[in-house]
Amino acid sequence: MSDAGENVIEVHELSKSFGGKTVVDRLSMAVKKGTIHGFLGPNGSGKTTTIRMLCGLLTPDSGTGTCLGLDITRDGERIRRRVGYMTQRFSLYQDLTIRENLEFVARIHGLKDPKKRASQAIEKLGLGGREKQLAGNLSGGWKQRLALGACTLPDPDLLLLDEPTAGVDPKARREFWAEIHALAADGLSVLVSTHYMDEAERCHEIAYLAYGKLVVSGSVDDVVAASGLQAWMISGPNVHQLQGELERLDGIDLVAPFGASLHVCGHDAALLEQSLAPYAARSDIRCVSGEATLEDAFIYLMNASKDNFDDG
């Protein structure tokens, strides 16, 4: 059983290949009990494969790991009884009502009084008044909320959420995340994969994967600090047209468009300031130093890891 401060997930050098292609490459990571751990990385970087290995649905080719203190290669069934696993695809019955779906989940988990458990879940998730609606008729946001209700209904110790908010509108995403934080505040641990940077910023810790390898992990501040980037922001009319010329200047490692402005980043603060001085002196645009963001760090780390792979 997990004690306070213990890791609910701990994997060492986990690898998995499909048809000779390594999709998870000697991955080591840990998730602390009671935390929300974000799992990031581009499509195909091995997040789903890792999550499936964590709950024993896939066997690693090599490496070891525990999930809730249980061995991921031997104890898959016991792990799955204590884990809520939710995928991006809605996995409940479309032609059953909300209540019927929840009662069904309670029954297959062998819970006492499925009706009461379903009622509690309905109330907790704010689904009251909608319980007779067919699940298939719900909006994307409500569907995912229902799926979250179903996977938390058996009182799991850990949630493995695989892109749970993909394609869900921003308001529903915010509500979904409020619920995740409420669950974590009650002691539930969460590993959640996402493509959304605002969601990454809501995690206690994040792990960024590229090409199956862990590129960086830690808190948002740790990850930004690990990138070592200094940042300047340039805004004003047509600043995007400056991207090419800025990229050619000394000391500039990254130029990334952010809405109507550009983030210009480098590692040498003095050199960056020197290169940007002509832009800072211009009156038609605004060019000021600021803080590097998580997105700057990810773009930079992603480019750097791509270069490593190209060289290798």
Residues making contact with ligand ADP (CB under 6 A): 18-19, 23, 41, 43-49
CA 111 to chain centre: 30
Contact status, residue 262 vs residue 240, Cβ threshold 8 Å: yes
Least CB distance to ligand ADP at residue 44 (A): 4
Nearer Cβ to ligand ADP, position 44 or 136? 44
Least CB distance to ligand ADP at residue 48 (A): 3
Least CB distance to ligand ADP at residue 200 (A): 14
Nearer Cβ to ligand ADP, position 52 or 143? 52
Least CB distance to ligand ADP at residue 170 (A): 22
For residues 113-140, b (16+ Cβ closer than 10 Å) or e, as one string? Answer: ebeebbbebbeebebeebbeeebeebee
Nearer Cβ to ligand ADP, position 34 or 41? 41
Residue type, 40: L
Contact status, residue 25 vs residue 211, Cβ threshold 8 Å: yes
Total residues belonging to the chain: 312
CA distances from 30 to 68, 144, 217 (A): 11, 26, 10
Nearer Cβ to ligand ADP, position 38 or 41? 41
Contact status, residue 79 vs residue 8, Cβ threshold 8 Å: no
| Of residues 76, 40, 34, the one with CA closest to residue 55 | 76
- Kindly report the number of other CB atoms within 10 A of residue 289's CB atom: 14
Nearer Cβ to ligand ADP, position 18 or 258? 18
Nearer Cβ to ligand ADP, position 25 or 179? 25
Least CB distance to ligand ADP at residue 19 (A): 6
Task: Tell the residue number behind the tokens 């066997």, with chain if given.
Answer: 59
Least CB distance to ligand ADP at residue 4 (A): 31
